[in-house]
Amino acid sequence: MNIIEAQDINFYYGDFHALKNVSLNVAKNSVTAFIGPSGCGKSTFLRLLNRMNDLIPDTKLTGKCLINQEDIYAKKADVDALRKKVGMVFQKPNPFPKSIFENVAYGLRVNGIKGKDFIQNRVEESLKGAALWEEVKDKLGRSAYDLSGGQQQRLCIARALAIKPDILLMDEPASALDPISTSKIEDLIYTLKTEYTIVIVTHNMQQAARVSDTTGFFMLGELIEFSDTKKMFLNPDKEQTQNYITGRFG
């Protein structure tokens, strides 16, 4: 079953045509990776799935994007509700200047959840889900800024998990991290797959090959190829894809 169905999406920043006729489907509980050179539109595509691009003034979108069979750009679509279902982890770790606990509890609090025990349990559960619990369980009251970069990124993942989204978007989540932290994040993606649908944008082709089931290759706003990851890396259909993954340009 497809949890995301994008149909003929065009996206403009002012006059700049950033996405050209992009159509793709994402299956539930899969990991989909988007690769491509800088400025190819892969992040733009990711960010339109939770309507983060709405924050940028002077943008325009045509086409249809269905999540759970609902058109997220319909006039009466509830953006806040959409973002509860579609969590996001950003390129740079961006914890709030609050305690570790409050960072994870934030999503619950803004959604009106008050029960103290419930919040406590969910925070613990989320931190365990993000493989951070063992490292922080004794210092939940400490500032999130006391953590290392890799820990902060896992905290951001825990924060996104706390509201139990259906989909987790990750925008180059490991690009600011060292190799050890990166491998931790990748392991995490692997385990999260059982419960969440993950869409990840990455510059690192090995990473895409390691973590994803399906890969999409973007170039100059077009989705050049979208297929099974193994096939894409071993035997791509298009020459452009072949050139990019073998490093002949990019």
**Which residues contact other proteins by CB under 8 A?**
50, 52, 55, 57, 80-81, 83-84, 87-88, 90, 92, 94-99, 106-107, 109-111, 142-145, 156, 159-160, 163
- Rounded to a whole number of angstroms, the minimum distance from the CB of residue 9 to other proteins is 20
- The burial of 116, by beta-carbon neighbours within 10 Å (0-12 exposed, 13-18 middle, 19 or more buried), is given as exposed
CB atoms < 10 A from the CB of 211, how many? 25
118 or 145: CB nearest other proteins: 145
Structure tokens belonging to residue 68: 């759970």
96 or 222: CB nearest other proteins: 96
- Rounded to a whole number of angstroms, the minimum distance from the CB of residue 18 to other proteins is 18
160 or 205: CB nearest other proteins: 160
- Rounded to a whole number of angstroms, the minimum distance from the CB of residue 63 to other proteins is 22
- Rounded to a whole number of angstroms, the minimum distance from the CB of residue 80 to other proteins is 5
Q: Residue 46 phi/psi, 5° resolution?
A: -60, -45
Q: Are 220 and 38 within 8 A, CB to CB?
A: no
101 or 218: CB nearest other proteins: 101
d(CA 154, CA 130): 6
d(CA 201, CA 170): 6
91 or 183: CB nearest other proteins: 91
Q: Are 163 and 104 within 8 A, CB to CB?
A: no
104 or 224: CB nearest other proteins: 104
Instruction: Give bridge partners of residue 26 from the DSSP assignment.
Output: 4
- Rounded to a whole number of angstroms, the minimum distance from the CB of residue 57 to other proteins is 7
Nearest to 190 by CA among 2, 6, 33, 85: 33
Q: Residue 78 phi/psi, 5° resolution?
A: -95, 105
- The burial of 222, by beta-carbon neighbours within 10 Å (0-12 exposed, 13-18 middle, 19 or more buried), is given as middle
- Rounded to a whole number of angstroms, the minimum distance from the CB of residue 58 to other proteins is 9
- Rounded to a whole number of angstroms, the minimum distance from the CB of residue 127 to other proteins is 16
48 or 205: CB nearest other proteins: 48
CB atoms < 10 A from the CB of 13, how many? 15
